[in-house]
Structure 1
């Protein structure tokens, strides 16, 4: 078989180039600290690394969602705490004003303080975030939850019948014909995803679903008196309906009694007590949601740590192994260069000479 000088030359050049490529490849791995820098380095590992990066990015997004959710829940908790403190003061005044030793002037003076409490409670029930979204409007975060009830209510315990107004209604409890009526305020609320789906279903109640957390609430569930406000049952709109059974209307009724110089009724104090209990339960439920956010965050971080360890095993370059491979490839390149220089001298002319 005849082997030409050009063939010797070509094989030598190819050998040198291959060793140079190997040396450059290990240099890149050592400089980046990664064994897989491109898909061709290890196609299977590259696919797994891409999948883990995507999962870790999703976990980071869930963590950011959780931080935002905690901020919203802190605002809601603050509004409820402020309302509870105001109601505690109203309850104290109500217990005092039940006593018949106070004269009408004392009661009318107390009514002024109750008026201030009404303003404070109304502001909390209509609380908006810095983005202008209502905390207690259910699914209609762009609406004001509590508005003045346009209906008229007759006090059926007075003779003659006294027409009384000034009550407030939750927008989801208004008559359908009312321009402020909002049916979607009665269901749903804002949810944030804080973990991987367990069933990929979304309902208006996040109870038991650890992957989502509710960051707004239905005001009617928060501020209405459980079982109805007994102090408001004496009012009638002509169709047998009393005013909305929310705590704000109970305070309005309390102020009406005091403005008239009358003692506060026991029903008013009982309704305020029931509302305080209800708000405490809501606050505890909010605390439960905050705990779920923390638990999901910790679970996500633990999962991300396991993924990072697996990713490191697939992707990272072992320094000792890399240096050994670099030295071996460097030696191989030097040998190839030396052999090539010797082959260059294998010429018939050099032999004759």
Structure 2
């Protein structure tokens, strides 16, 4: 087979063109620092790099969502701290209001201060984050979760959000807390039973909030403690109001102030001097109250002007203090939970940042160029290309006439 001069020329030009293209491609790789610029450069590496890029994109999205949740949680925790401080101020005022020497004007001054603190508590409960989302709306709902409807025809503060708490995920945290569970689920009385005085009392008897001495003996029934003057001696009788039967051992007993009485697993201490016909009502707790109603109840009690004003106010202050303490405990528990989530957010942030670094390194190893090797290959190809050009130029000048001259 004979190879023509034209065919040899075409092959040589094609080879030079291919080497020039390879040299240009290598120059581009060195300039960009990328070994794989299109899938055809290395299909396997390109596929793996795309997978790593997708995982990196999801990780970065999780990091942004986590940062947003963390910011909201920080603001919610700050709000809970402020709420706790307000409740502590409320308690201090309630203790102050229990001073028996206070005048009505002094009690009114305390009531006004309590009104201001109540409004501040509602404002904290309705606080929003930087994006305008409610911090204590639970699972969503109203943009103003706590609505104050207190008044002659109102029912106090109502929760308009959606009860419940979003669960924390492997890479996410809730951005809102359940305000209903924090402020609207305060145990009444001592958490097991309440002790109250009817407005019809005319004497000065009041009581402590009582305590449970034997949980197994509790009946869950209503009880009334009534007082009677028998021969100039004040006596008390404890009656199971649910069954209508007197409690054995507590029928017609002489009343002694500041002495505890115990019956059916409960005990309480009665103070002051009752009048004949006065009554103390002991009722089991069947529902919860809210911190806003507790404060409002104390305000109303301070403005009470009935016949047994001093006893009624002492009883109301004692109950309010007990319930404020219980409400404060719930705020502290919620704040502790928020603190745990913030710690978890820091841990998740570290984990995802580490994952992002690993994915970037994986993507880099698959697509980026080893610059030392790249420069070496570029120089090798450049020298080879220049040598090929010079050799071809020398061959082109050869002819038979030059050989025989």
Q: Using the TM superposition, give the Cα deviation of residue 134 of structure 1 relative to its aligned residue in structure 2, in angstroms.
A: 2.3
Please identify the structure whose Cα radius of gyration is greater.
2
Per the alignment, residue 200 of structure 1 pairs with none
Q: Using the TM superposition, give the Cα deviation of residue 94 of structure 1 relative to its aligned residue in structure 2, in angstroms.
A: 0.9
User: Residues 141 and 81 of structure 1: is their aligned pair in 2 closer, same or farther, counting only changes over 3 Å?
Assistant: farther
User: Residues 318 and 129 of structure 1: is their aligned pair in 2 closer, same or farther, counting only changes over 3 Å?
Assistant: closer
Structure 1's unaligned 5+ residue stretches are 153-163, 173-184, 189-203, 236-240
Q: Using the TM superposition, give the Cα deviation of residue 171 of structure 1 relative to its aligned residue in structure 2, in angstroms.
A: 2.9
Separation of aligned partners in 1, 2:288 and 2:116 = 21
User: Residues 5 and 351 of structure 1: is their aligned pair in 2 closer, same or farther, counting only changes over 3 Å?
Assistant: farther
User: Residues 304 and 336 of structure 1: is their aligned pair in 2 closer, same or farther, counting only changes over 3 Å?
Assistant: same
Structure 2 counterparts to residues 1-353 of structure 1, below 5 A = 1-149=1-149, 167-171=156-160, 185-187=162-164, 204-206=166-168, 209-228=169-188, 245-260=289-304, 262-263=313-314, 264-345=316-397
Deviations 1:148-173 (A, max 9, x none): 45897xxxxxxxxxxx856222236x
3-state DSSP class of the match of 1:143? strand
Q: What is the root-mean-square deviation in Å for CA atoms of aligned residues?
A: 2.9
The structure with the largest helix share of the pair is 1
Structure 2's unaligned 5+ residue stretches are 198-284, 306-312
User: Residues 165 and 101 of structure 1: is their aligned pair in 2 closer, same or farther, counting only changes over 3 Å?
Assistant: farther
3-state DSSP class of the match of 1:169? strand
Kept in 1, the 8 Å contact 2:138–2:178? The answer is: yes
User: Residues 326 and 131 of structure 1: is their aligned pair in 2 closer, same or farther, counting only changes over 3 Å?
Assistant: closer
Separation of aligned partners in 2, 1:229 and 1:105 = 28
Q: Using the TM superposition, give the Cα deviation of residue 274 of structure 1 relative to its aligned residue in structure 2, in angstroms.
A: 0.7
Deviations 1:298-332 (A, max 9, x none): 00111122222222222222222122211211122
* TM-score, normalised via structure 1 length: 0.78
* TM-score, normalised via structure 2 length: 0.69
Separation of aligned partners in 1, 2:356 and 2:133 = 33
Separation of aligned partners in 1, 2:141 and 2:345 = 22
Q: Using the TM superposition, give the Cα deviation of residue 74 of structure 1 relative to its aligned residue in structure 2, in angstroms.
A: 2.1
Figure out how many residues of one structure are paired with residues of the other and give that number.
Answer: 309
Q: Using the TM superposition, give the Cα deviation of residue 104 of structure 1 relative to its aligned residue in structure 2, in angstroms.
A: 2.7
Separation of aligned partners in 1, 2:144 and 2:339 = 25
Deviations 1:174-200 (A, max 9, x none): xxxxxxxxxxx1235xxxxxxxxxxxx
Separation of aligned partners in 2, 1:85 and 1:91 = 10
